[in-house]
Amino acid sequence: MYDVIVIGAGPTGSTAAKILAEKGRKVLVAERFPMPRYKSCSGILIKKSMDLVKQYFGEEIPESVMCLPTENKGMVFTDDKGQEFVFAQEGRNVWRSSFDKWLSDKAAKEGAEIRSDTAVLSCEEKEGYLMVSLKGETVYTEEARYVLDCEGVTGSLKRKITKASPWYITTFQTFNKGSVDLDPHYFYAYLQPELSEYDAWFNVKDNFLVLGVAVKDTGKIKFYYERFLAYMKEHHRLQIDAQEKAEKWLMPRIRPGCPIDYDVGRVLFAGECAGFLNPMGEGISCGMESGYCAACAVSEHMDDIENVYASYRSRTKPLKTYMERQWSLVGRMADTFRDFILLP
């Protein structure tokens, strides 16, 4: 019987597993892909993420997981009137596959058992524990007192458990060789409604110029992406010599009030899967923090489920408030996000 089975070895799951193991809990992490696994991401770690890595894992982020330019100097927003706002802040530029593998190795070193290439298929509630069905080379079951679902946006288990229809944004980004007249140390977000249905972005990873758009309707990807390229050519002298890769992914579509799905029975949700995501898809810091909060709540109140629920909610309250404030900020920059504005 495990104390906790964690689903997913992203930043949320690995943080939770590391903390649970550190607190002496018997923890299994099931990750459906072989590690290191791919995750579509801009790979910008904001200052808060850097600090959380230091706080939870006791180390600075190693150079080996970074790409060039390793240093990120902040975000440049262009609002829906075309006005630029620079938010200067220290950050790092990483490849997610390497960064996430590094985190999961740290969880393993602390004593968490990691089974990659192993998908959780279902969880069945029993008296005081859960029967978890897993698929590795074969299908088999394990027992756990709690499941911490950190499966991210692409996971299907939460959909099965809650029976709720998820709200998605589709992201599309390309990796290109070429040139542009922007400082590669910044992440650029464009909020003009003519360029995307959510946001469009530009950043640099090693020698690649990464250009992306987010849409509500996948049929409109090509339309917005071409408009965004034209905009970048006109305003920033973008020149593309070769497109090396294009990829689609999903992001949770956060709604006004930033509702969070905390738990169902003995299953707790954390990270993106719970609905923690800051504007412009900054999800690593809130994934790590919610994973930490869930791990502490379970570990401290293992035998008292009502207190697990209460503790998880109260520990994540500052995180939710931070998230609401961030969304309110972009609400003031673009009509697309107007409903997020918090009233004084």
Helix (H), strand (E) at residue 163: none
Q: What values do phi and psi take at 82, rounded to 5? A: 90, 10
C-beta closer to ligand FAD: residue 12 or 78: 12
Per CB under 6 A, does 37 bind ligand FAD? yes
Task: Choose the binding region for ligand FAD from 24-32, 73-81, 230-238, 294-302 (rule: CB under 6 A).
Answer: 24-32
For the bound state, the minimum distance from the C-beta of residue 53 to ligand FAD, rounded and expressed in Å, comes to 12
User: What share of residues in the chain are helix, strand, coil (percent, to 5)?
Assistant: 35, 35, 30
If we measure between CA atoms, which residue out of 206, 289, 192, 188 comes closest to residue 244? 206
Stretch that binds ligand FAD, among 63-71, 174-182, 271-279, 321-329 (CB under 6 A): 271-279
Interaction between residue 36 and ligand FAD (CB under 6 A): no
Long-range CB contacts for residues 63-68, cutoff 8 Å, separation at least 24: 64/98, 64/102, 65/94, 65/95, 65/98, 65/99, 65/101, 65/102, 66/92, 66/93, 66/94, 66/95, 67/43, 67/93, 67/94, 67/95, 67/205, 67/206, 68/93, 68/204, 68/205, 68/206, 68/207
* Closest chain position to ligand FAD (CB): 283
272 forms part of the interface with ligand FAD (CB under 6 A): yes
Q: Which of 107, 284, 295, 297 binds ligand FAD (CB under 6 A)?
A: 284
Q: Confirm or reject binding of residue 199 to ligand FAD (CB under 6 A).
A: no
Which of 36, 152, 279, 331 contacts ligand FAD by CB under 6 A?
152
Q: Are the beta carbons of 266 and 202 closer than 8 angstroms?
A: no
- Choosing from 40, 70, 239, 243, the residue that interacts with ligand FAD (CB under 6 A) is 40
Q: Using the rule CB under 6 A, which residue among 6, 107, 114, 150 binds ligand FAD?
A: 150
Q: Is 287 in the site for ligand FAD (CB under 6 A)?
A: yes
Is residue 84 packed enough to be buried (19+ CB in 10 Å), middle (13-18) or exposed (0-12)?
exposed
Would you state the torsion angle of the CA atoms of residues 310, 314, 320, 322, taken in this order, to the nearest 10 degrees? -170
DSSP designation for 21: H
* Complex with ligand FAD: residue 24 or 154, whichever CB lies closer: 154
Q: Should residue 155 be labelled a site residue for ligand FAD when binding is judged by CB under 6 A?
A: yes
The smaller minimum CB distance to ligand FAD, of residues 155 and 331, is found at 155
Asked if residue 210 binds ligand FAD (CB under 6 A), the reply is: no
Taking the least distance from each CB to ligand FAD, the nearer of 9 and 329 is 9
User: What part of residues 246-265 is at the interface with ligand FAD (CB under 6 A)?
Assistant: 249, 251
How would you label 296-324 residue by residue, b for 16+ Cβ within 10 Å and e otherwise? bbbbebbeebeebeebbeebbeebbebbb
By CB under 6 A, the count of residues binding ligand FAD is 40
Site for ligand FAD in 168-197 (CB under 6 A): 171, 173
Query: What residue type is assigned to position 304 of the chain?
Result: D
CB atoms < 10 A from the CB of 339, how many? 11
- Give the x-and-dash track for 42-61 against ligand FAD (CB under 6 A): xxx-----------------
Residues that bind ligand FAD (CB under 6 A): 7-13, 30-33, 37, 39-44, 119-120, 150-152, 154-155, 157, 171, 173, 212, 249, 251, 271-273, 277, 281-284, 287
